[in-house]
Structure 1
Amino acid sequence: MDKVLKANGQCLCGAVRFVAQAASQSVGACHCNTCRKWTGGPLMAVECGTDVEFSGQDSIGVYASSDWAERGFCQKCGTGLFYKLKQPGLYIIPAGILDIESQLNFDNQVFIDEKPGYYCFSNQTKNLTGAELFAQFGAE
C-alpha cells in the first residue's frame, strides 16, 4: 500500500483549483475507449479519495459519461479535472494537474484489453482487463 498525500492542483488557466486530502502515490493508465476519446490518449491518473475541495465551482462543467461515473472539466480552458465514480464519490484526477509529481509512481494499467497497438509503456505494471477491473468493484 502506498502512502497517502495531500495534493493541490489546478486547471491550465487557473480558474479551477483544488485540494485533495488523500491522493495516492500510485499512477494508473486507463486505456478504455472513453478515456482515450476524452484525453486523446490513455488517462494517466491518481485516485484521490472522496475528500476533494474545489474553488472556481462556476467554471466546472460536468459530463455524465456513464451510469456510474462523471467527468469534470474547466469550462474556460478545457482541462480535464476529474473522473468521479458517482458511488462512493471517488475522485480520480489526472496526474499532470497535481503538484506532487516527484512523489508519484506509475504502477498499474486498466482496460489493458482495449489498449491500441500504436503505443506501449516500458514500465513494469499490474495490468487488468476491463472485466477484471469491474470484478474488483463487484460490477459487470
Structure 2
Amino acid sequence: MQGHCLCGAVRLSFEPKQPELHACHCEMCRRWTGSAFVEIDAKPGSLTYEGPVKSFASSDWAERAWCDTCGSTLWYRLTLPGHDHYSIAAGLVDDAGGLELTKEIYIDVKPAGYSFAGEHELKTKAEVEAMFASFPEGAKE
C-alpha cells in the first residue's frame, strides 16, 4: 500500500499485516486525530517513508508521528524493546485500501455519538491495557 499526507511532503509504503482496519477510541487517539484513530497495522519491516516526520513519545510504550509540514497524522508506533509495530493512519491510503473494520479498542470510553457499522471485535480499556502490561521487556506481539 502507498499513501501520503495532506500536503504530499511525506510519502510512505507498507504491506498490511492483515487486510483489515482497526479503530481506537482512547482519549489520546481522539485528541491526536480529532476523532477515533482508524488504522492499518503494517507488516513488521515493511514500512518505508520519506519526508519531514516528527514524533512524540505519548506513553511509556508508544509514540505518535505526524507530517511536520501539514500536521497530518501518520502512525502510532510501539516503542517496547523487541517490537516492530506500526499502525498507519488509514486516511493516508486512498479509500483506506478498500479494507473493512474488524476491531475497535477502548470501546468503553468512546463518545456516545461515535458508532461504526457492522459486526467486529470490541475490546475495553482494561482489556487493551492488560495486553500491554503482559508484554515482558523484549517480548514479541
TM-score normalised according to structure 2 size = 0.85
> What letter corresponds to residue 120 of structure 1 in structure 2?
S
> What letter corresponds to residue 27 of structure 1 in structure 2?
L
Q: Quote how far apart the aligned CAs of 1:113 are.
A: 1.1
Partner of 1:127, secondary structure, is strand
Q: 2:18 & 2:8 partners in 1: Cα distance?
A: 23
Identity across aligned pairs (percent)?
37
Aligned partner of 1:16 in structure 2 is 10
Give ranges in structure 2 of 5+ residues lacking alignment.
136-141
Match of 2:55 among 62, 71, 94: 62
Shift in alpha-carbon separation, 1:109–1:46, aligned structure 2, 3 A: same
Give ranges in structure 1 of 5+ residues lacking alignment.
1-6
Aligned partner of 1:34 in structure 2 is 28
> What letter corresponds to residue 123 of structure 2 in structure 1?
L
Aligned partner of 1:92 in structure 2 is 87
Q: Quote how far apart the aligned CAs of 1:123 are.
A: 1.7
Aligned partner of 1:76 in structure 2 is 69
Partner of 1:21, secondary structure, is coil
1:36-93 Cα deviation digits (max 9, x unpaired)? 000111011111133211111xx11111111100011001011001000112130001
Q: 1:99 & 1:121 partners in 2: Cα distance?
A: 19
Shift in alpha-carbon separation, 1:102–1:53, aligned structure 2, 3 A: closer
The ranges of structure 1 where at least 4 consecutive aligned residues each deviate by more than 4 angstroms after the TM superposition are none
Q: 1:68 & 1:75 partners in 2: Cα distance?
A: 22
Shift in alpha-carbon separation, 1:66–1:102, aligned structure 2, 3 A: closer
Match of 2:119 among 115, 121, 124: 124
Q: Quote how far apart the aligned CAs of 1:21 are.
A: 2.9
> What letter corresponds to residue 101 of structure 2 in structure 1?
F
> What letter corresponds to residue 18 of structure 2 in structure 1?
S
Partner of 1:54, secondary structure, is strand
More strand by share: 1
TM-score normalised according to structure 1 size = 0.85
Aligned residues: 131
RMSD (CA atoms): 1.6
The yes-or-no answer on 1:104 pairing with 2:102 is no
> What letter corresponds to residue 129 of structure 1 in structure 2?
T
> What letter corresponds to residue 72 of structure 2 in structure 1?
T
The yes-or-no answer on 1:43 pairing with 2:54 is no
